[in-house]
Amino acid sequence: MSATANGDGVAIPLPPELIEAVAARVAEMLAERQRPAEHELMSVDEAAELLRCRRQRVYDLLSQGRLPHLKDGARVLIRRAELLSYLEGER
């Protein structure tokens, strides 16, 4: 297989392994772009999903002061960084 540079008729032979490696890396990069952005603030439901527990467990952690949170009206919001810190045992 070969590639032509700038349409000037110069062909550079490329081994199939290199083409496959480049194609795999491009596929990885495209997949990373298509991932949804992780929000900094999470709902109780999202926190429970990340912790793989019931919502009540998250509320228990909040009421015990083991997990800091923010209130926006009736909504309870948890910073993703705080939740990850809790999981890593830093709290």
76 neighbors 83 (Cβ within 8 angstroms): no
Q: 68 has which bridge partners?
A: none
Q: What is the pLDDT along the chain (91 residues), one digit of tens a residue?
A: 455 556 678 888 999 999 999 999 999 988 877 765 668 999 999 999 999 999 999 999 999 999 999 999 999 999 999 999 998 986 5
pLDDT digits (tens, 9 = 90+) for 26-38: 999 888 777 656 6
| pLDDT value at residue 64 | 96
